[in-house]
Structure 1
C-alpha cells in the first residue's frame, strides 16, 4: 500500500473544543483529508487513520460532548450515507494514540481512559481497528482485544489483515520508569525488529522527522527506518502543517490532530 500522490484533498471538517494556551478551551476544526494509494487490503475500500484526537465534540447523532474520537467514529456512518466514505463495514481504522481529553477541554496534556474510543470504532462496524497507545492514553491490549478479533492494540507486534501487514509501537522515547516510555536504544531496536522484513504500515505515536522545517520527530527513528522503510509510517505526537514526507522508498504521514482517509 503505497502513496501515489503526496497531495492531500480536503473532504470535511469536524468542529471540536480543545485546551489552548493556559488550558483555556478553544474552538478548533479537525481536518479530514484524503490521500490516494495504489491498493488497499482485501475487505476494505478505504482506511481511516487518526491520532492525537485530544478534544471533545458532540456526536453528529446528538447528545452531549464526548471524546473527539467517539464523535469521529459516529461520523463514519454519516459520511457513508452522504457518499463521502464507503460503507462503514468497508472502512478499516488505524489509530496512532493520544485519544484522551479532559472532559471540559480545559487542561492540556491530560491523561485518561480511552477504551471507549476503541469501542466506538468497533461498534460502528469497521472490519479492523489497529492502533497504538500514546503517552497520554490509559488502555491495555487485553481490554482492546475483548472488543473483537480484528481490534488490536499493538506494542511490538505485527498483525495481518487482508494481505496488509501492520506493525506498531506504543508510547514514546523517554524515562522507562514512567508509563509508555522506552529508552531511545530500546525504541529503535524494536523498530528495527518490527521492520525486518519490511512491513506495509508501521504505526508509531512518536515518529521520525520529515524532510522540511516543522516536520519534527526523532532523528534516530528516521535513521533506523531508512534502512528498511515501510511503505507507510503513520505517526503523531507533534503536529505537522504539511502531513506527508518521503522516507527512503516509502512515506511518513503525520496524523496528529488530523484524520486521513486512504483510498485508491
Structure 2
C-alpha cells in the first residue's frame, strides 16, 4: 500500500467544541482531507483515517419544537455528544456527494485513538465505544486501537470484539480486514484483505492506563513490522526533528529499521501530515484530522 497523493488543503471543515484550560470550551474545526492510495485490496474502495477526535457537539433538547443552541454556551452536559459520534454520518454524506461511485459498505475506517472528550476538562479520559459504533454504522468495517485517554472497560471491549465488522486491537496484533460481513473466514483470498498492524497507547509508566515501558513498546513495534503489514496503526507519533515534527525519536528509529510500510498515528499535532522516511515508510499523522483516501487510478 502507498499514499500516492495527499491534498494540502482540506475539502471541508467540521465544526465542534474543544475544551480549553479553565473549564471553558471554544469553537474549533476538524479539517477533512482527501488523498489517494494504491495497493488497496479488491474489497476496499476507500479508507477513512482519524485520530484524536477530542471534541464535543452540543445537541439541543426538543420540547415540542426545535431549540437552537449557541455553540459557545452549548447545552447542559448531558446533551453533549462526542465529536466522533456525530462525524461519521457527515463524512458518509460527503463521500456520497463527492464520490457517488463509492459504496460506503466497501469503505474501511482506521481509528488511531483518543476518541473521548468532556465539557469542562481538557484532556479528559473516558469511554470511546460510541465512536466506534457510529463509524461502524456508517461504513463497512472499522479497525483501530486505544489512545492514552481511551478507557474501554471490559463490557465495552467485549462489545467491540464481538461486533461484526469491528477489529479492536487492545493488544499488539496484525489483523486482516476486507469486505463487510464480519471476521474474514479462514482461507479467504489474501488479495481481498488489508493487513493492518496495531499498537495502542504510548510509552510511559505501566501503572497508568494505556502505557507501556519503552523497551516493551519498541519490541512490539519491531515484531509487528516483521510481519510486513500493509499499514501500521500507532497512537503515539514518531519524532521527525529535521522537519520540526514533535514525537518520540525512538519510534522513528524503529520504523526506519523495519520494512517499508504506511504508518497512521496521532497523539502529537503535526502541521505537515505526511512524511516519508529513508526506508520508504510513509507516516500520516491524523491528530485532530480526518482523511478520506480513495483508490488511486493510474
**Same-fold call, TM cutoff 0.5:** yes
**Bigger radius of gyration:** 2
Give the CA deviation at 1:65. Answer: 4.3
Alignment correspondent of 1:165: 195
Would the aligned equivalents of 2:237 and 2:266 in 1 still touch at CA under 8 Å? yes
For structure 1, the residue ranges without an aligned partner over 5 or more in a row are none
Q: Which has the higher strand share?
A: 1
Give the CA deviation at 1:112. Answer: 0.7
Tell which deviates more after alignment, 4-13 or 198-207: 4-13
Would the aligned equivalents of 2:32 and 2:292 in 1 still touch at CA under 8 Å? yes
Tell which deviates more after alignment, 254-263 or 21-30: 21-30
SS state at 1:112 partner: coil
Q: Deviations over 1:207-252 (max 9, x none)?
A: 2123644311111111111111442100000110111111221210
Alignment correspondent of 2:186: none
Task: Tell me which of 218, 222, 226 is aligned to 1:196.
Answer: 226
For structure 2, the residue ranges without an aligned partner over 5 or more in a row are 60-65, 68-78, 178-191
The answer on 1:133 being equivalent to 2:140 is no
Structure 2 CA distance, aligned partners of 1:30 and 1:225?
Answer: 28
* Count of residue correspondences: 258
Would the aligned equivalents of 2:3 and 2:38 in 1 still touch at CA under 8 Å? yes
Structure 2 CA distance, aligned partners of 1:23 and 1:116?
Answer: 23
TM-score by length of 1: 0.91
Structure 2 CA distance, aligned partners of 1:47 and 1:160?
Answer: 14
Task: Tell me which of 108, 116, 121 is aligned to 1:100.
Answer: 116
Alignment correspondent of 2:103: 87
The two structures, once aligned, show a CA RMSD in angstroms of: 2.0
Alignment correspondent of 2:290: 259
The 3 A distance-change label for structure 1 pair 57 and 169 is same
TM-score by length of 2: 0.81
Task: Tell me which of 131, 143, 149 is aligned to 1:117.
Answer: 131
Task: Tell me which of 253, 256, 275 is aligned to 1:245.
Answer: 275
SS state at 1:137 partner: coil
Structure 2 CA distance, aligned partners of 1:197 and 1:225?
Answer: 13
